[in-house]
Structures are given as structure tokens and as C-alpha cells.
Amino acid sequence: MKTFSAKESEIKRQWWIIDAKGQYLGHVATHAANLLRGKHKTIFTPHVDTGDFVVVINAADVQISGKKEVQKEYMSFSGFVGGHKSETFRQRRQRRPELLIEKAVKGMIPHNRLGSKVYRKLNVYAGSEHPHQAQSPQIFSIK
């Protein structure tokens, strides 16, 4: 028996919509990462990008449990003196809510060239409007 390995030409990509309204951040990010990598397909191959395109809408309405709204912090450092910046979950939601889901999904995909290729297929929008109607995306329901 030979080991199956998917080829780039054999992969059929779909478009999915995930509605984050009222859903927990981790659940949305996990399902988005699995769809992006292609883990839901029978032809999944770890070293080949077999995944689909994902559109996440209503990112501003995503939930988070416990006191993370005020306790969870996102930090960045520019490399210069005094270049340390930090903001809470609530502050980031007000400033740019798309970054919440983007950062969570980015942490769940491989941190290499394949992960960079997979990450480019993610589209996150704060509201319910998105410019991908022409691709006729299917709705992915999170249970």
C-alpha cells in the first residue's frame, strides 16, 4: 500500500463563512484554522496546503469567557527604547476587532512558509458585510 499525498492540482477549494456573533473566540479560531488547513477533508496532507478560504464576519461581536475582557493583554515591542505597547482585549475590540480573530487563528496554524500561505486565505470583517458574495461562500455552523 502506498502513502497518499495530495497534489496542488487535485485540490478543490471552497469558500466558507463563519458568523462570530455570540460565539467564543477560541471556538471560532479553532474551526477557522481547521478549515484553512484542510483538516476536514479526506485528502488532508500535512505538508501541502489542502485548505479552503474562510470569511469570518461579525468579529466585533465575538465573546470571551471570564474576566478576560479586562485581564487579557496583547503586547508588542518595536525594538526601540520605550517601544513596548500593551492593550487589553476590550481596547483592541474598540480599536480594531479583526485583529482578535486574526491573532488567535495565526497561533493555531504552522509557523513556517506553509502557515504563511494558509494564513493568506483568511478574511475577517468586523461587521456582517463582506465583499466575497461572488465566490458564493457556504455558511459553516459552529455547534
Helix residue ranges, H only, the chain: 25-37, 68-71, 89-95, 98-106, 113-119
CA 16 to chain centre: 12
pTM over 0.85: yes
The whole-angstrom separation of Cα 114 and Cα 119 is 9
The burial class, CB within 10 Å (0-12 / 13-18 / 19+), for 113 is exposed
Summarize pLDDT for 88-128 with one digit per residue, the tens: 999 999 999 999 999 999 999 999 999 999 999 999 999 99
User: What residue ranges do the domains of the chain occupy?
Assistant: 13-64+96-140
**The listed CATH number (2.60.40.1220, 3.30.300.180, 3.90.1180.10, 1.10.287.470) that belongs to domain 13-64+96-140:** 3.90.1180.10
- What mean pLDDT comes out for the span 51-55? 98
